[in-house]
Amino acid sequence: MTNPIEKARALIGVPWCHQGRNPEIGIDCAGLLILAFDVQSPTPSYGRNPCRGLLEATMEGLLGAPLEEGAEMRPGDAVAVAYGGPIRHCGLIADDIHGGLSLIHTDSILGRVTEHPLDEKWLRRIRRIYRRGAR
């Protein structure tokens, strides 16, 4: 498999584990992107709630600079997510089987990798869009 969406979907159900990079043990949100995009280079360490741009710096190291504000998302894009504060989460945009877009990400509350439709609540949380090879 070389398609990041296929790779991410193959990880659905894998347990959540902070800074996890091994699907047999568990992965976190950055680990999902690292595995989906088959990144071989080491990534920096970060705290449970990354701040001061640490998660964005990790994403830029993996995928390059974010797209211009207002860019349209498409399947295969990675997104940086904020919950009313700084960016602390990321995921992968996919094509939902019922139409529209979906989000594949690790959910620490559910305790696993999951996919769900990209609804208005999640759209409001997206702060940056990254497209591998776009810049």
How many domains does the chain contain in total? 1
User: Is residue 56 assigned to a domain?
Assistant: yes
For residue range 34-78, what is the model confidence (pLDDT) as tens digits?
999 988 765 655 555 555 677 788 788 888 899 998 899 999 999
Is 96 a residue whose pLDDT tops 70? Answer: yes
User: Is residue 55 assigned to a domain?
Assistant: yes
Range of the structural domain that residue 123 is part of: 4-130
CA distances from 5 to 49, 50, 57, 103 (A): 25, 25, 22, 10
Residue 46: per-residue pLDDT: 59
HSE, side-chain direction, 13 A CA sphere, residue 44 = 13
Is 125 a residue whose pLDDT tops 80? Answer: yes
Residue 91: per-residue pLDDT: 97
Of 3, 1, 36, 2, which Cα lies nearest the Cα of 106? 36
User: Is residue 49 assigned to a domain?
Assistant: yes
Residue 36: per-residue pLDDT: 95
User: Is residue 23 assigned to a domain?
Assistant: yes
User: Is residue 94 assigned to a domain?
Assistant: yes
User: Is residue 30 assigned to a domain?
Assistant: yes
User: Is residue 117 assigned to a domain?
Assistant: yes
Give CA–CA dist 133/54, Å, rounded. 21
Mean pLDDT along residues 130-135: 80
CA angle centred on 29, ends 119 and 41, rounded to 5°: 135
pLDDT band, very low/low/confident/very high, at 135 (cuts 50, 70, 90): low
Residue 103: per-residue pLDDT: 98
The CATH number of residue 62's host domain is: 3.90.1720.10
For residue range 13-45, what is the model confidence (pLDDT) as tens digits?
999 998 888 999 999 998 999 999 988 765 655
User: Is residue 135 assigned to a domain?
Assistant: no
